[in-house]
Each structure stands twice: as structure tokens, then as C-alpha cells.
DNA sequence: TGGATAAGTCAATATGGCTGACGTAATGGC
DNA sequence: GCCATTACGTCAGCCATATTGACTTATCCA
């Protein structure tokens, strides 16, 4: 690639390390950029695989969380994804229409449509998870297992404070080992 | 309308779909999900701030990389963002039209339009970087500085193998100081 | 019984991507 | 000097994902 010039600016703006959000402190550009690049490549894997099914990234997110949390309600899903009901609508409908997800009336609250993956849905979810798994496995191999653990703590701390409780309950973090069934 | 409830099909497969077994072990669902949640919140901050300027996430990415790498060419940018020329086109035009970025003819290759931020562009880039910086600062405070360092190594290792060289040259990693090491 | 909640839907719109096709100017190898 | 290639820009159309706002239906619950 073409050689990129070094920045001419910002270098003078630093202060000593130690304070976090002091006004003149240089932002952690390395982490900011690595988050972008890591995420960019992390999702590209899956996007390609999804294309074969005529699905997009949004379908994956829904499928994933339903797969991992059987019986999730639509409201739960909206809160996880932080999107609107209307946005979810199309994606969910397509997943249901094509037999990847089923909806069942809530046992105690019949207004709810609890969501479950079908066998097919579980298979697809697993296929996609394995792609992501492979990349993560390679990364941990390269960066060391402690880096994986630390990344877990760092990423968790990157989540909005008032979302952390939900995240913990919802994710594998909240599950001791093995998880499902 | 609400008669979309699916029949019994697939319900038998709800719980114990053959997950944890076949080829290898259980995917690292914790990291998979934390990447999603962390990124979700990481970009939400900035998205809100950008709305005030009538810009979107795409504008931010362009502004950021030009700010950090003055003299970047359009081709460089396309390779960083992994989008098409046409997609970049509109976003870049808006940033130029509104005085956040300027284009200058390349000195040695006059076909190039080298990109630079204006003072205004630099200010906006910095404002946005500080938002991200604040979140990262809080995260490191919570997870510990070693977690930040490890996260840096982990995220770097998450990048496509054949992209890592470029990423290193391009980002703060390739520059002395900062997260250097 | 009536207000609140869960879900679904219609319609319009924005944004950020994509492919394909073309055009122009400059470079660089021969 | 010629010509293929490169760098950039742009027109046109399309798709996926998201938004706001308004409305309906069914159900729950105080």
C-alpha cells in the first residue's frame, strides 16, 4: 500500500500518563482502531456464509440470541439488539418463514411469542458460531490465553454500565459451564 | 393477523439440539457475545454525537482515518474500510463540501487526491475520539491496565492475518509511544 | 372494566452498502 | 510516442438495515 505519512498533529498534545480523561490527554487510538479492524474482520467471515442463505447480519444476530436463549420474547430481543420492533419484524418473519425459528405462545402470558430455534436453526447458528470460534481460537493462540481472559474483562467493561447486569445474565458469562439444556 | 403461530414442527428439537460435541469443543460464546455488546455500545456514543452534524458512522470512519493519517489517498481508504469507491464517494464528498476534509493533488503522482483534515475536521475528529476515549478509559479502570494491554494484543490477533501488517503500519501500534511496547 | 403491555403491521424515509458501466486524466513500460 | 493500467469520479439502479409514527389485536391485571 502507499506509504502513509505520519501525523503532523496531536503529538504535542500529550500529558503524562496516569490521568484518564484529562482534557489534554491523547485518546487511545490504538484500541479505538483495533476495535474497528477486529470487528470488521470478525463479521466479514459470517457475512459471507450468510449470503448463501440469503440472510444478512441482522438475521444472524437474531438467530444467535434465540439459539443461545431459548424462549426469549420479542421484547427481550429488542432490548438486546437495541433496534425497533419494525426493524426486527422483517428479519424475524423471514427466519420464521424459512423454518429457522418457531414462535410459541407464552405459557403464563399468552400475549408473548416465545422464540425457539428449530433443528435447522440450531445447525445454522452453530455453523456460524464455529466460524467465529475459529477466528477467536487463532487469536488466543497468537495472543495467549491470558489475553483471552483479559479481553473478556476488558470487553465486558466496555459495555454500558447499566447494561452490564443484563449482559451478564444473558451471555455465557452468566453460565458456569456447558450452558444449554 | 396474529395467527402466525407455527405448528408443532421443530419443537421437539428445542432444547437438546446436538451442540456440544461433534467436531471439537463449544464455541467461546462469551467472547462472541461480548464483542457484539461492547461494539454496540462503543459506536452508540459516537452515533449520537454525529447526528448533531447530520453525519453517520461512515463519515466518522473516514474522518478518523484521514485525521490520523494525513495525506491518505482514496485507494488507501478503500482498502482500510473495505468498501467500494461508490460507497465512499458520497460520504467523502459531504465531508469535503462541508469543510471537514480537503483534497490536494499528489506531488509525485498527480492522479492522486491526497486527503487532509481541516482545522474543523480535526476538531470534530478529536471530539469523537474523546467520547470513545472516555469509554475505554473507564473500561481500563475497571478491568485493569493489564487488561487493556492484553485486549490490544487479542484484538490485533483477531484481524485477518494478511491485514495485520497494514493495520500495524496504519494504526497507533506502528507509531512510537502510545500503546507501543 | 379499563389502562397497560406484547406483538404485529402499514407507510414513508434515511443510510450505507452493492454491481455495472463509463469517462477522464495521469503514469509508466516498451 | 503509444498504449495499457491506474486513480479517481460519477451516473443509475438496487438491496439491507435501520428509523419515526400511527394503528390494531389480544391479553393481562389492578
Condensed to tens digits (0 to 9), the pLDDT of residues B22-42 reads 456 899 999 999 999 999 999
| pLDDT score of A71 more than 60 | yes
Q: What is the pLDDT of residue A120?
A: 97
Confidence of residue B3 (pLDDT cuts 50, 70, 90): very low
* Average pLDDT value over all residues in chain B: 86
Q: What is the largest CA-CA distance in chain B?
A: 69
Which grid cell is A46? Answer: 459470517
DSSP A117: E
Reference A94, options B4, B81, B58; nearest CA is B4
Q: Angle formed by the axes of helices B57-68 and B119-143, to 10°?
A: 100
Q: How far is CA B61 from the centre of its chain?
A: 7
Which is more confident, A127 or A1?
A127
Selected for mutation to probe chain A from B2, B5, B18, B27 (highest A CB count within 10 Å) is: B27
- Among B11, B29, B38, beta carbon nearest to A102: B11
Enumerate residues near strand C (beta carbon within 7 A): A 73-76, 85-86, 89, 92-93, 103, 106, 109, 111-114; B 1-2, 4, 54-59, 61, 81-87, 91, 108-111
Question: Tens digit of pLDDT for each residue in B118-148?
Answer: 999 999 999 999 999 999 999 999 999 999 9
Lowest model confidence (mean pLDDT) among A20-24, A54-58, B16-20, B176-180: B16-20
Q: What is the pLDDT of residue B8?
A: 33
Q: Which residues of A33-50 are buried (b: 16+ CB within 10 A; e: fewer)?
A: bbbbbbbbbbbeebeebb
Q: What is the largest CA-CA distance in chain A?
A: 64
Q: Are B113 and B59 in contact (CB under 8 A)?
A: no
Name the minimum distance, in Å, from the CA of B85 to any CA of chain A.
16
Neighboring chain A residues of B68 at a CB cutoff of 8 Å: 7, 29, 33
Q: What is the pLDDT of residue B173?
A: 75
Pairing of strands A101-105, A113-117: antiparallel
Q: Is the CB of A109 under 7 A from strand D?
A: yes
Report the alpha-carbon distance of residue B178 to residue B148 in Å, rounded.
12
Reference B120, options B58, B57, B66; nearest CA is B66
φ, ψ for residue B178 (rounded to 5)?
Answer: 80, -125
Please name each of the domains of chain A with its CATH number.
46-144 (1.10.10.10)
Which is more confident, B96 or A6?
B96
Question: Tens digit of pLDDT for each residue in A132-166?
Answer: 999 999 999 999 999 999 999 999 999 999 999 99
Neighboring chain B residues of A173 at a CB cutoff of 8 Å: 30, 34
* Average pLDDT value over all residues in chain A: 87
| pLDDT score of A27 more than 90 | yes
Contact B33 A167 (CB under 8 A): yes
Q: In DSSP terms, which residues pair with B116 in a beta bridge? A: B102
Mean pLDDT of A34-56: 95
Confidence of residue B176 (pLDDT cuts 50, 70, 90): low
Q: What is the pLDDT of residue A172?
A: 72
Confidence of residue B17 (pLDDT cuts 50, 70, 90): very low
- Among B31, B42, B82, beta carbon nearest to A152: B31
Which is more confident, B11 or A67?
A67
Q: Are B122 and A118 in contact (CB under 8 A)?
A: no
| pLDDT score of B92 more than 80 | yes
Q: What is the pLDDT of residue A124?
A: 97
Over its C-alpha atoms, chain A yields an Rg (Å, rounded) of: 20
Question: Tens digit of pLDDT for each residue in A98-123?
Answer: 999 999 999 999 999 999 999 999 99
Nucleotides of D under 7 A from a protein CB: 6-13, 16-22, 25-29
Reference A66, options A43, A88, A44; nearest CA is A88
Q: Which helix (H) or strand (E) holds B30?
A: helix B29-51
Report the alpha-carbon distance of residue A138 to residue B39 in Å, rounded.
20
Report the alpha-carbon distance of residue A126 to residue B119 in Å, rounded.
48
Amino acid at each position: 500500500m502507499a506509504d502513509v505519512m505520519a501525523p503532523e498533529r496531536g503529538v504535542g498534545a500529550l500529558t503524562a500518563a496516569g490521568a484518564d480523561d484529562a482534557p489534554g490527554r491523547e485518546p487511545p487510538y490504538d484500541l479505538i482502531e483495533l476495535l474497528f479492524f477486529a470487528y470488521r474482520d470478525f463479521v466479514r467471515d459470517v457475512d459471507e456464509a450468510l449470503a448463501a442463505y440469503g440472510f444478512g447480519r441482522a438475521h444472524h444476530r437474531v438467530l444467535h440470541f434465540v439459539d443461545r436463549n431459548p424462549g426469549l420474547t420479542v421484547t427481550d430481543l429488542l432490548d438486546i439488539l437495541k433496534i425497533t420492533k419494525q426493524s426486527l419484524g422483517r428479519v424475524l418473519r423471514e427466519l420464521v418463514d424459512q423454518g429457522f425459528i418457531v414462535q410459541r405462545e407464552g405459557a403464563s402470558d399468552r400475549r408473548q411469542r416465545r422464540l425457539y430455534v428449530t433443528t435447522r436453526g440450531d445447525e445454522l447458528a452453530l455453523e456460524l458460531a464455529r466460524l467465529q470460534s475459529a477466528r477467536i481460537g487463532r487469536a488466543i493462540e497468537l495472543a495467549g490465553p491470558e489475553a483471552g481472559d483479559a479481553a473478556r474483562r476488558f470487553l465486558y467493561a466496555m459495555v454500558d454500565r447499566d447494561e452490564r447486569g443484563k449482559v451478564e445474565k444473558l451471555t455465557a458469562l452468566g453460565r458456569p459451564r456447558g450452558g444449554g439444556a
